[in-house]
Structure 1
Amino acid sequence: MQPSDKALVPFVSVDHMMQLIHHVGLSDMLRGLAGYIADDFARWESFDKTPRVASHSAEGVIELMPTSDGETYGFKYVNGHPKNMSEGLQTVTAFGLLADVGTGYPVLLTEMTMLTALRTAATSALVAKTLAPKGATTMAMIGNGAQSEFQSLAMQAIAGITHVRLYDIDPAATAKCAANLAGTGLHVTACTTAEAAIEGAQILTTCTADKAYATILTDNMVGAGVHINAIGGDCPGKTEVAPAILRRGDIFVEYPPQTRIEGDIQQLAPDHPVTEFWQVLTGAAAGRTSDKQITIFDSVGFAIEDFSALRYVRDQIEGTAFYHPLDLLADPNDPRDLFGMLGRAKEA
């Protein structure tokens, strides 16, 4: 018994996602994702919004990230398990789905481990382009794990950096990142301390994996005028930036109810002022206003960014071979006769 066309859902596997990235071009895909994210942030108020639904354990966290713009619904399933690295497993894996609100039928199912890395990097670079000092050329990349190359290349493609200074507590991670960035046009410097990495950098990115109240950037490390892209503090009990820096700078976030639970600002009072980044994009709030200002993007990742990434992939795979038709939906001849469909399958 063959499924009908309306029972088939486009499914993008990891292999097809990688083929799509190479087909579009990594830099072009990062720019495309940033464009879709900017478009959706500009219509922020049309979305359903809720902090992600998290199931925490001693080993890590499993989360669902849902949203809808009234016409299309999307969600991402994602985990965060720092211990996985020691077992040869990814610390983060994900998949996502888009559905038509009118029918409830899924219209896309896709891997999102690779896609999350791209959308996170695209979001970071979009924010840096908006908030970092004008003419910024150098980024410190502290934490050289799975996200570091994507962050570096997105900052190059979108924010215009030409130099990246790498540091990780594991020298092998820094060597890996430097090797992967060879030939990209970036000038790469491997550093032996975090202090050395931030020398001369206008953008400071922190992306570490340990689920702990950590201080990757101490108060005396950060001078006036820099932009901090803090993306590693993304769950309760996990931080990277000293509270004194947060109090000195202007903090920009995605969705305050989620960031106050998961971001670096969990260290501050619940009413500490923050600015929602979508308001900067629409002109409703100011971004960088002086050369001395410290801007801090306390990024935890939000469902609308995933929605944008899913929309982008849906549009890009149209007319290509970069997906499988997946027999995901029951499609009986009579919508009331699901049992009869089961019987016919036995006969076939």
Structure 2
Amino acid sequence: MNTLVLTRNDLSVIVQAFGRDALMDEVLAQLRIALREYDPSRTQSLRRQGFVYEKPRLGVLEWMPVMRVSRQVVIKVVAYNPGNPDDVGLPTIVSTISVYDPATGHLVALLDGILLTALRTGAASAVATQILARPGSSIVGIIGCGAQAVTQLHALSRVMQIQEVLFFDTDPSAVASFPRRTAFLGLSMKSAPPNVVARASDVLCTATSVEVGKGPVFEDSDLKPWIHVNAVGSDLPGKIEVPLSLLKRSLVCPDFLEQALIEGESQQLDASEVGPSLSDLVKRQQDFEAYRSRPTVFDSTGYALEDMVATEIVLKHARALGLGRELAIENILADPRNPYGPLDVQASRPAQDRALP
């Protein structure tokens, strides 16, 4: 039994073949369907768990499992290392995704999770924005201009008529390069201090690497009455981006409540103060139309269901294009009860036959 392995080159071919916009639109559409049809008896998602460490550099290594009952298991292993871009030239978020057959435990596929994480995180924010943002919202603010900010803006551009983008990052090089990295969107871009960005925004995305205990990343001062915030960067206990006062007066919607109460913006609140999940928003979006004129916050901590959606899309396209390599990774032999297999055949030959020439 072989495992389909997709490399970064395979993913590049998929993006080039279908285009960034078409791929993002497909992730958006399929994510809406998955959220609308979500049934915990058929799809089981567990909260993210893993290791937090300070040596050799500050980082997190975690795993995110989700299972479509009787069909497949998808597990993403994701690392968050904020020093990566400057220290070693790697993305802040590095991940791989594995797909398993629950009937046998067989590893069906193995692929990159860096691009897929960015795609699905942007798509989730766009789904929430489409439901919660005030109609006609046209000014987008970005605080934190790393890799996630690119797909946040890309996804929003697929569901909004964006007139202007204001952005900020504590790293001058990230600020300088952000217009170039998002040039394919053809948007009007302007850098500004964080509080100026927040005050001007109809929709604000925070996607920062703020240190634990150093948040929030903007002030709750003179914000638009209808501001919608996609808070993407909170992924550790004590790491927050949104002021508590804003959360207290907003409808706060987590992607995955159990996880958000531990490491999302919702960790600042009591569970009773947290609103509907993203799935509930999609299922009952007409119930929340009145909130479009009020402050709202999408608490995006990362949801394994989103990973499954993006993975299924990429694997579908890879198979259609004949991409990837089929490798016999697992030691699956003719006799399932003999782990040594061919080694026993080699050992049974006379010693002189096995001797080196």
Normalized against structure 1, the TM-score is what?
0.92
Map 1:29-108 → 2, pairs under 5 A: 29-45=23-39, 46-58=42-54, 59-70=58-69, 71-88=71-88, 89-108=90-109
What is the rounded CA distance, in whole Å, between the counterparts of 1:221 and 1:206 in structure 2? 17
Per-residue CA deviation, residues 144-200 of structure 1 (Å, 9 max, x unaligned), is: 112122111111123443432111122221110112222422121222x01222354
Name the structure 2 match of 1:25.
Answer: 19
Name the structure 2 match of 1:3.
Answer: none
Moved more, 208-217 or 21-30: 208-217
Please provide the CA RMSD for this pair: 2.1
Paired residue type of 2:106 = Y
- The 1:345/1:156 distance shift into structure 2, 3 A limit, reads farther
TM-superposed CA distance for 1:338, in Å, is 2.8
Q: Which has the larger radius of gyration?
A: 2
TM-superposed CA distance for 1:270, in Å, is 4.0
| Contact 2:220 2:245 (C-alpha < 8 Å) held by counterparts | yes
| Contact 1:34 1:126 (C-alpha < 8 Å) held by counterparts | yes
| Contact 2:142 2:206 (C-alpha < 8 Å) held by counterparts | yes
What is the rounded CA distance, in whole Å, between the counterparts of 1:287 and 1:98 in structure 2? 35
Moved more, 105-114 or 332-341: 332-341
Paired residue type of 1:302 = Y
Name the structure 1 match of 2:307.
Answer: 306
| Contact 1:222 1:245 (C-alpha < 8 Å) held by counterparts | no
Please state whether the residue corresponding to 1:93 is helix, strand or coil: strand
Name the structure 2 match of 1:272.
Answer: 273
- The 1:220/1:66 distance shift into structure 2, 3 A limit, reads same
| Contact 2:210 2:217 (C-alpha < 8 Å) held by counterparts | no
What is the rounded CA distance, in whole Å, between the counterparts of 1:345 and 1:188 in structure 2? 67
- The 1:27/1:183 distance shift into structure 2, 3 A limit, reads closer
Map 1:44-193 → 2, pairs under 5 A: 44-45=38-39, 46-58=42-54, 59-70=58-69, 71-88=71-88, 89-191=90-192, 193=193
- The 1:178/1:284 distance shift into structure 2, 3 A limit, reads closer
TM-superposed CA distance for 1:332, in Å, is 1.2
What is the rounded CA distance, in whole Å, between the counterparts of 1:255 and 1:184 in structure 2? 30
What is the rounded CA distance, in whole Å, between the counterparts of 1:279 and 1:270 in structure 2? 16
Q: Percent identity?
A: 25
| Contact 1:98 1:109 (C-alpha < 8 Å) held by counterparts | yes
Moved more, 62-71 or 8-17: 8-17
What is the rounded CA distance, in whole Å, between the counterparts of 1:206 and 1:327 in structure 2? 42
Please state whether the residue corresponding to 1:233 is helix, strand or coil: coil
| Contact 2:32 2:282 (C-alpha < 8 Å) held by counterparts | yes
Per-residue CA deviation, residues 229-250 of structure 1 (Å, 9 max, x unaligned), is: 1101122121000100000100
- The 1:152/1:201 distance shift into structure 2, 3 A limit, reads same
Per-residue CA deviation, residues 313-338 of structure 1 (Å, 9 max, x unaligned), is: 11111231431222212231222233
| Contact 1:82 1:211 (C-alpha < 8 Å) held by counterparts | no
What is the rounded CA distance, in whole Å, between the counterparts of 1:129 and 1:291 in structure 2? 10
- The 1:331/1:266 distance shift into structure 2, 3 A limit, reads same
| Contact 2:134 2:293 (C-alpha < 8 Å) held by counterparts | no
- The 1:121/1:290 distance shift into structure 2, 3 A limit, reads closer
Name the structure 2 match of 1:210.
Answer: 210
What is the rounded CA distance, in whole Å, between the counterparts of 1:285 and 1:99 in structure 2? 37
Paired residue type of 1:12 = L
What is the rounded CA distance, in whole Å, between the counterparts of 1:211 and 1:326 in structure 2? 41
Count of aligned pairs between the two proteins: 341
Paired residue type of 1:48 = Q
| Contact 2:59 2:81 (C-alpha < 8 Å) held by counterparts | yes
Q: Which runs of 5+ in 2 are unaligned?
A: none
